[in-house]
Structure 1
Amino acid sequence: MWTVTTFALVPGAGGAAWYWHRVVPLLEQAGHEAVAVDLPGDDPHAGLPEYAALVVEAVAGRDDVVVVAQSMGGFTAPMVAARRPVSRVVLLNAMVPLPGETAGQWWDAVGSEEARLTAARADGYTEDVDLDTYFLHDVDPAVAATGEAHQRPEVDRAFETPCDIASWPDVPTRVVAGADDRFFPVALQRRVARERLGLDLETVPGGHLAALSHPAELTAYLLATL
């Protein structure tokens, strides 16, 4: 029996639903529903509870929901799964939180900066974080240019509010990394997935913004998880 799945697509820092705009039509063409949730990253009064509430509201009334969270969206995903039934969680180049941890604490706790610098030295690109080197290096310039109007900062509030879960939700979870992610290198993501969730890391083509650079390959991966 054919089942329509709703993919709740959670963006990373800044909260722009636009990040998913190349994946949404591909999921819809495959016969499913895709809901890219816009999060108020620039609202000083909004933190993780508000983010989770917006995602829950966006998929209200749906039965088969897959939460797909990119980067900082990894802090919102388990809170959504703790608040309503979901079929599974997919973490894409995501920060994997511990219960009660804040996104601000995560960087030092997992050694993110050391991992980034180690990868930069090994592969010969700049250690200074810049947009082109770490985020847009594999994104079509024409696609990147259309994103400028959607960019907004992530204010401190979301980094300061804890991931309000008692434990990781008892929901099937998959962790996938862009094979060429320079911001969260694969070695870092693999270690964090094992240490925090006891899961093996999977990979798809692309860097940190794989949904922009390789939407077809990412969509194929998401469909294969069903």
Structure 2
Amino acid sequence: MTTYVLIPGAGGSAWYWHGVSDELSRRGRDVVSVDLPGNDPRAGLPEYVDTVVDAVGDRTDLVVVGQSLGGFTAPLVCPRLPVSLLVLVNGMIPRPGETPGEWWANTGQEAARRANDAREGRDPDAETDLATYFLHDLSQAQIDASAEHNQDESEAAFATPFTLDVWPAVETRVVAGRDDRFFPADFQRRVAEDRLGMIPDEVPGGHLAALSHPMELVDRLEAYVKESA
């Protein structure tokens, strides 16, 4: 049976994936949603990878999905697990030796965000707040629930370099949220083409597309699985 391994972004809460996980389970898929030690100041990327590997256990035929910061962890688990497909969703695509902390300047994320803000009529000099950049397409019920699961990300992971010399030899797909204000879709296209030589597929929703549009994201993931079969 195909197992989806869902890796969250900053903060490390598996709850982020609950809508996707529920829908995948409804469609008969096995799902492992991983809680990462994001707020542990002693835990960097190696500890994140160990956590994922331990959560998966002896499962095989894995589809590993990494969200945002999870884009650093997801490829690192591939040499240690029987992964058949790797998917990054609004993901930070790393280069060898790069830390997540270096990724922002290396990719020009801030300039891309500011340019997108100006295009969409927001003040590019305004504070980068949760409501504007992460919660804008969520219902109030989702916003309230997310506050209960929100936790800070320690600096440890951001200081850990990406240790693979080459991208893992695993079929890879990239998904971008069409309405992502934090990692604008055109920015994600540029980074994915530059670093992986591929153009992302788009789904509706912002940076937290798995919360705002879980059905559409599941449809895209399932399409990848069928294409790779």
TMscore range, shorter length: over 0.9
Distance 1:107 1:143 in 2: 28
Aligned to 2:68: 71
Structure 1 equivalent of residue 111 of structure 2: 114
Q: Say which of 75, 78, 83 aligns to 1:81.
A: 78
Identity of aligned residues (%): 55
Inter-partner Cα distance in structure 2 for 1:149 and 1:43: 18
Task: State the Cα distance separating 1:171 from its structure 2 match.
Answer: 0.4
List alignment gaps of at least 5 residues for structure 1: none
Q: By how many angstroms is 1:5 displaced? A: 1.0
2:24 corresponds to which residue? Answer: 27
Q: Which runs of 5+ in 2 are unaligned?
A: none
Q: Which amino acid aligns with 2:3?
A: T
Residue of structure 2 equivalent to 1:94: 91
Look up the match of 2:204.
205
Structure 1 residue ranges, 4+ long, deviating more than 3 angstroms after superposition = none
SS at match of 2:69: helix
Q: Match for residue 124 of structure 1?
A: 121
For 1:99 and 1:85, how far apart are their aligned partners in 2? 22
Provide the secondary structure at the position in 1 that maps to 2:113: helix
Native 8 Å contact 1:9 1:69 kept in 2? yes
* 1:78-105 per-position Cα deviation (integer Å, ceiling 9, x unaligned): 1001222201100000000001110000
1:113 corresponds to which letter in structure 2? E
Aligned partners of 1:143 and 1:179: how far apart in 2?
19
Give the equivalent residue in structure 2 for 1:182.
181
How far apart, in 2, do the equivalents of 1:100 and 1:82 lie?
A: 17
Deviation at 1:125, TM superposition (A): 2.1
Spell out, residue by residue over 1:185-222, the C-alpha distance to the aligned partner (whole angstroms, 9 max, x if none).
Answer: 01110011011011111100100000000011111111
- So what's the TM-score if we normalise by structure 2? 0.96
User: If the length of structure 1 is used for normalisation, what is the TM-score?
Assistant: 0.97
Please list, as runs of the form range in 1=range in 2, the aligned pairs for 1:2-81 lying within 5 A after superposition.
Answer: 4-81=1-78
Q: Distance in 1 between matches of 2:164 and 2:122?
A: 38
Q: Find the aligned partners of 2:172 and 2:179 in 1 and give their Cα distance.
A: 22
- How well do the aligned residues superpose, as a CA RMSD in angstroms? 0.8
